[in-house]
Structures are given as C-alpha cells and as structure tokens.
Amino acid sequence: MKEKNPKKFSIKMQKKLLCLYVLIILAFILLSFRLSWIVRADGADYEKQVLSQQKYDSITLPFRRGDIVDAKGTKLAVSEKVYNLVIDARVMLDREDYLEPTMEALAANFPDLDMTAVRQYVTSHPESSWYVPLRRMTYDQISGFQAAALENGKIRGVWFEEEYKRVYPNGSLAADVVGFARADNEGQYGLEEYYNDVLNGTTGREYGYLNDDANLERTIKPAVDGNTIHSTIDANIQGIVEKYLKQFNEEHKDAAHPGNGAENVGCIIMEVNTGNILAMASYPTYDLNDTRNTDALLGSRKIEMVTNANGYRVLTKTDTYFTQEDIDALTDEELLDNLNYLWKNYCISTTYEPGSTAKPFTVAAALESGAITGNEHYQCNGYLEVGGHTIKCHSYRSGGEGDVSVQDSIAWSCNVALMKIAATMGKEEFAKFQQTFNFGLKTNVDLAGEARTASLLFPVDQMGSADLATNSFGQNFNVTMIQMITGFCSLINGGYYYEPHMVDKITNASGATVENIEPRVLRQTISESTSAKIRQYCRATVMEEGGDRRTGRTARPAGYAIGGKTGTAETIPRKNGEYVVSFMGYAPADDPQIAIYVVVDRANAFPQDDAKFATGIVRNVLTEVLPYLNIFMTEELSEKEIQELAEKQIEITNQYTQKPEDGDTQNNGDGADTASDPADQTGGENTGTGEGEETPTTSEDWRNYPVDPATGYLVSPIDGGLIDPVTGEDIGGADTLGDSPVNNNLLNQQNE
C-alpha cells in the first residue's frame, strides 16, 4: 500500500496566512511609528517618569531671553540673571547644629528677610524642601551668604535658584516699540510680543537619581538661550523725537484745561527707500521697568469700559483728566483698562481722520489714472455744493482761493479743487487707489497691536458724491499713522511701496546671524513721473511763499529744503471745537531720504485747529536729526536762523556735559541722553564725576558720547576730540565744538 502524501495547504489557507502575515507586518509598522512619535513628542515626560522611579529629582535650567538692540547695538532690552532664595527645611533640620548657624547667616546677609516668619515656617514644616521667601536678588545681594556658607560647613539647607529678569536699560526710551515682558517671559506689546517666540529660548533641566549602586547620577539637558533681534530704531534719533514730544507736553499742559499738552502726540521717522523705521514714539509714555507706575496716567483722560448700542463692550473716553485722587479711586479693573490704553502704541493702533495730508494721495491717484494731467486750473469761491451739502474750503482768503492750479490745490490746501479733482476721477478709481495705498488694510509692520481700518472706509457701492468729496481732502475715513507714512513714502520715492519693518537682523546667543530681513517692495503705487510731480507739489507747500498759506513753511528747519503737507481734521461729533492736526514731510526736498510724520491729537489749546502744533515739533526734530544723518544744508541762513542754531548747539552740548544730580543717571529715561555707541552697555549707569567736581572730564563721561560714523570713534562734545569706544582713551582729532555728529553741520555748513 502506497504511503499517502502529507496534506498541502489549500490555496484558500495560503491566502489567509498571507493576509495574517501582512496584518502583523502592518501592526509592527504602526507600533514603530507610534513609538517614534511618542519618543519625539513626549520622550522627556516619560524619561522623567522613569527617573522618578529611581529616586529622581530635577532642577529647571532657565533660558536667557534674547536682547533687543537698536541699529547700532545699543541695548534696549536685556535679561539679567537673578536669584531666588530657596530654603530646604528638611536638610536644615537634619542635624541639630545646622539650624542656628544657618538662621544667623540668613539674618546677617538678608536684612529684608522676615526671620520670624522663616523660623516659624522651618519648624512647622520639617519635611518641606521648597520655601522661597525672597525672589529676584542680584549676585551682589547673595554673595555674602555664599561666602559665609563656604567658611562654615554648618550652614545648610539654603540654595539659590537661578532665573532671569527683564531689564530695560533706557527706561521709557522706545517704550511703544519695545513693549515689555512679564515674569513668565511672555511679551506684551511691541517687539517683545511680536517676536516672542524668537526671543524666547528652550528651558533646560538637570535630572538626578540614585543608580543600583546607590551612586548619584545626573543628566543635564542644557537650556537654549533666545535669539537677539536687531531693530532698525536708532536710539539717538528716538531720543531726539521723545525729547521734543515731552517738551511739547511741558509747554502746553494745563493750558486750556487741566491735563497733558494733548490727548496724544505721535511721531514716526522712516527711511524713504527701505521702509526701515528709525524712530517711533508717542506721548504720554511709560517706564518699561515700572509699567504699573500710575504716575504715567497723570494728566491723561480717563478711560471707561461701556456697553455700546450694539451690545459690545468698548473703551470710551470720559471728561475726567486724571489727578492722583482720581487714580487712587480706581478699581483694579478700571486701573488695568487705563494702563492697557497707555501701553498701546498710538502710532499703529489708534485711528483718526487724516485731514489734508490725504490730499497728495488724491492728486497722485488722479494723475496716475489719467483723470488729470497736472495742467488743470479750478475756480474756488470758498465752498462747493455736493449731494445737497454745502462743503466749505479750508481757505484763508475771503471768497475762496480764486484760480487754483493742481500744485496750488496741495500747496494752498484747497478743498474745492480737491473735490473737483475727485469728481473727475470718480468713486471707482478713488476707491481702487485707496486700496493701492493700503488704506483699510494692515501694513504688516512687525509690531503687535496694529489696527485694521477696513470698516472705517467707504465701500465703493456705498460711497455717495458727498462722501467722495469729503474723502478727497481726508475727512470721513480713518487711517493709522503707520498706514499714512508708509503710503506717503511711495508717493515720493518713485512709487515703490515698501513693507514697513522694525527689525532687520536676528542673531543667536553666539552672535551668529540667523536671519537677515531685507527691505521688501510689495507693489508700485504710482509711476516715477507722477511721483516727481508730487515731490514738486509738496516742496512748493513748504518752500514757496504762501505754501499752505500759513503753516507749511513753519516745518522747515534752518538751512534745509524739505517737502510736506499739513493736515487738520475735525473730530466727531462735528462742531465740537476738537481737531487732530498733523504734518507729513520728507528731507531733503530734491532727494528724499527720510520721511517724518507728526500727529497732535486735540492739543490742550484754544483754538485747536492750528497745524503749527505739529510743524513746530517737526522743525525741532529735523534740526537735530538731519545733521546727525549727515544730510547737508543747501539753503542760505538768515541772521535769525544763525542765532537759533548757535543756541541749539549750546543746548545739545550741555545735554552731554551737564553733571547728573545726586541719585540721577546719565540717561534719565526720556531718551534725551541716549547714546548710540555699541560699547555703551551700562544700562544708564552713572559714569559721572565724583562728588565736588562740577564738570565731567573726557575720561569720566565718555560712554554717553555720540559716535562719529566715519571713524567709529566717540566724539567729545566738549572739545570735538575722538575717544576710543572701548578704553575711553582720548586719541585726539578735531578741535572744534561743531564736530560732534549731533551738532554736525549746524554751524559748519553756514560757510559752505
């Protein structure tokens, strides 16, 4: 009998086995993928759990938040290491002879420590290993105790936890731009918030555990420090701007009513051909090192949160101007509302009607669209009937301006001519160019808190003839300062709309460049030929007799030709006597390098509709900023102007040579004494003379001297000599007072 062959797997069984094999392989793949994902995402947590089963303990290693520096390296925000006092009662009570020596050392080295509370806590919590009675002390404050602990081995149960404290060396300088960071390293407002993830690093950790041989093992995962951001702000220019905003407030506060010199005053200086912002400031401001100091609210109008007609909670200004009694009466919630309003950056977050500074935009749009050629003339009799409304001209002549050319429509600020130009262009083209100039949209400037104004412009399908007429000269639509100056730069630089920005480089903790942020052209708003005409019209507004009829010429600094346009806008409700006045200009007139925009929101004066409130600030700022930027004078000086410049030169020199009063620092926080020297990292440290000396010498006061851009040396405003920025050594050089870059060209150019 033949042996039967063993049974073979049937085709059906083979298929089942194959499917099972494939399923097992897929399961392994999925498990491997899941395991890899867990290790990557939660590996640290599981590692802690494993270590915790081996008598694990750990210490958090804090990262250092990156610095914020200005264009020349001056530190605007830094993180300094501080120490928290940690008491381990369990160790302190481990032996009887530890407690008293430790208590004596604590009492001797920490006078602010409540020793009764410490002793009570230690004795009542013998198992506690974590009690923190003092926080954020400097190394100098803890060094005495550390030395005592090294000398006496019975001082036990005390250690110091390291962390970092955010410090702003220049106080209130560039507060709107910088913003501030909370104790948990979360940025609030400005660059601190916008670049929060860039500035923050990664926390490290030190793990400790006992191995199987009862030996202590430690694993350290080091902290990764945050990156440093290099802003486009120039601390010297910023300081000049803030000095004159503060001066305006001092001159006008309590004039027509109790309170500050204006509701708000803002200023932006921007490079025309890059979008770099050299300065941005508003008043009132606040101290970045003491953000909750209520002194900054004094003189401001009180803000209240109310429910509007649509059921939304909104902030509304009251008629109360803060006194100390008013501030003391605020609830915690009310105080926070008012502080939040103070902390906001007026230049990017507050909207207003631009007034006549919008006229160059309207004319540029009409020229670019072909609605006008620039050769037209218009008749102005002082008003125009549009859509059933009588709209008056902003004219200083009885009966209107008469015959008005296109250039005159800007130079004389003629509303009637602008309304006729806009009517010729039509609402569709007008609305299109509003969007081209970015009105209604965010500029995407790299600062937290920029407002969007889309809902504050008329959609073309809702724009009537009267709306078009009033929009043509800057009424009935809202903008922000950053929108206006960014668009204005495109009007005068050939039509190139640059995205505005505050940071041009990011470096890591080692100083290596992580990212370069180059100027970015988003679009061309108008042609070069149209831009040339706008420059011509704006130059005439300031430089020709009768420009803006009264106010345009008052913005011109002595010795310089500039262009620009004033603006006056009545606030809502109308006929309330309250106005926002402004000036937007550029220098030099024939080759624009920088643009400046100043807005004064409801000056503390009567009447308020005087653009000279803004032009006066512009003139003061440019008188110092243009020489500092090595932009040379081109215009002949009058005897009066020569005298003014001489007085200005003395004022600037005294700014650098006056001795600080007792308790004061070289940099008083208002930006007036800020140095742009990269070596000046003293954070406002007092480097003045010793007691009894009346005049600081070069070697004693050199850290706050300005930098000579040609050589990199510091320049003494006392004798014009050059100073080594590292050692402070006087290496000689110029021997004339006018050679300081801050003073440069003020007098020397008179003879050129």
pLDDT computed for residue 210 by the predictor: 54
pLDDT, position 196: 96
- Measured in degrees and rounded to the nearest 5, phi and psi for residue 37 equal -65, -40
Q: Is 64 exposed, middle or buried (0-12, 13-18, 19+ CB in 10 A)?
A: buried
pLDDT at 654 (0 to 100): 75
pLDDT at 422: 95
pLDDT averaged over consecutive 10-residue blocks of the chain (752 residues)?
55 80 87 79 60 55 93 94 91 88 92 92 89 92 91 90 93 96 93 96 78 64 93 96 96 93 96 97 96 94 83 81 93 93 95 95 96 94 90 76 92 94 95 94 94 88 93 94 97 97 94 94 96 96 71 88 94 88 95 97 92 95 94 89 84 67 42 38 36 36 58 61 63 42 41 38
CA 418 to chain centre: 35
Listed in sequence order, the residues at least 6 apart from 75 whose beta carbon sits closer than 8 Å to its beta carbon are 67, 68, 69, 169, 681, 683
Predicted pLDDT of residue 70: 95
Burial of residue 448 (number of CB atoms within 10 Å: 0-12, 13-18, 19+): buried
What local confidence, expressed as pLDDT, does residue 56 receive?
Answer: 46
DSSP 672-728: TT----TT--SSS----PPTT-SS--HHHHGGGPPB-TTT--EE-TTT-EEE-TTT-
584: part of which helix (H) or strand (E)?
strand 579-587
- What confidence score (pLDDT) does residue 584 get? 97
Question: pLDDT tens, 317-362?
Answer: 888 999 999 999 999 999 999 999 999 999 999 999 999 999 999 9
The string of DSSP codes covering 604-665 is: SSSS---THHHHHHHHHHHHHHHHHTTPPP-SPPPHHHHHHHHHHHHHHHHHHHSPPPTT--
- CA 187, CA 196: separation in Å to the nearest integer? 6
Q: Return phi, psi of residue 135, to 5°.
A: -130, 155
| 559 class by beta-carbon count within 10 Å (0-12 exposed, 13-18 middle, 19+ buried) | buried
Determine the pLDDT at residue 394.
73
Q: What are phi and psi of 132, to 5 degrees?
A: -120, 95
CA distance 519 to 509: 24
* pLDDT (0 to 100) of residue 39: 72
Distance CA 322, CA 342 (A): 13
Distance of CA 367 to the CA centre of its chain: 36
Supply the pLDDT for residue 332: 92
CA distance linking residue 367 with residue 349, whole number of Å: 31
**pLDDT for position 214:** 53
pLDDT of 685: 36
pTM for the predicted model, two decimal places: 0.79
- Predicted pLDDT at 575: 84
Cα dihedral sign for 359, 360, 363, 366?
A: negative
| 3-class DSSP assignment, residue 75 | strand
Distance CA 198, CA 58 (A): 27
Structure tokens at 297: 């609210």
| pLDDT given for residue 255 in this prediction | 93
What the block records as the tokens of 261 is 């010199």
Q: What is the pLDDT of residue 663?
A: 40
**Number of other residues whose CB lies within 10 A of the CB of residue 403:** 11
